[in-house]
Amino acid sequence: MKQKNLENISSELGNILISKNLIFTCAESCTGGWVGHSITSVPGSSEWFGSSFVTYSYNAKENILGVNPKELDSFGAVSEEIVEQMVTGAINKTGANVGVAISGIAGPSGETETKPVGTVCFAWKLDNGSSKTTTEHFQGNRNEVRYSSVERALLGTIEFLETNN
């Protein structure tokens, strides 16, 4: 039932992207490709979805998306500064018009004093430079945090497009 909700949101996003003639990309960490999975579950998504990067490790964030290693060490992977670099890298690599990046702590371990389990950072960006970042704090077990993150990424993309394009 929950996956069907994500597919419905993805379909709505696809309709908006088609109407605006935009191609979408995503850079995922804690969601492990779930955004891309939800999107590609929608028939015809190839019209508006170009790519998905799963960059779980620091090394992948640096080598695939071009995240600055010094800033990664300074801010940590779960930070608005890093997700901004992730989405920028995804757009630059693919030529997509719009993208989202997600990095978080799904648990049950991995928390720090300042970043508890459930902390997830998001960045949305258009190829014209408009961008938005936010940090959310989700409750629940690992899968619930990941589900909430995917839902927020998709709904946040719709909201971002409604206010920025």
Q: Which domain covers residue 15, as residue numbers?
A: 2-164
Any alpha helices (H) in 21-141, and if so which ranges? Answer: 34-40, 58-65, 69-75, 80-94
Position 141: which residue type?
A: N
Nearest Cα to Cα of residue 121 among 154, 149, 88, 155: 149
- Domain CATH for 124: 3.90.950.20
What's residue 116's pLDDT? 97
What's residue 100's pLDDT? 99
What's residue 154's pLDDT? 99
Nearest Cα to Cα of residue 144 among 9, 13, 30, 27: 30
What's residue 51's pLDDT? 98
What are the C-alpha distances in Å from 141 to residues 20, 113, 129?
37, 19, 35
What's residue 18's pLDDT? 98
Nearest Cα to Cα of residue 93 among 1, 143, 26: 26
Residue ranges, the chain, pLDDT below 70: 165
Residue-wise pLDDT for 16-64, tens only, equals 999 999 999 999 999 999 999 999 999 999 999 999 999 999 999 999 9
3-state secondary structure of 143: helix
Helix %, strand %, coil % of the chain (to 5): 50, 20, 30
What's residue 128's pLDDT? 96
pTM of the model: 0.97
What are the C-alpha distances in Å from 106 to residues 90, 97, 101, 137, 144?
22, 28, 15, 10, 8
What are the C-alpha distances in Å from 129 to residues 38, 64, 88?
26, 20, 9
What's residue 1's pLDDT? 78
Domain count for the chain, please give it. 1
What's residue 74's pLDDT? 97
What's residue 28's pLDDT? 99
What's residue 43's pLDDT? 98
- The CB density around residue 11, as the number of other CB atoms within 10 Å, is 16
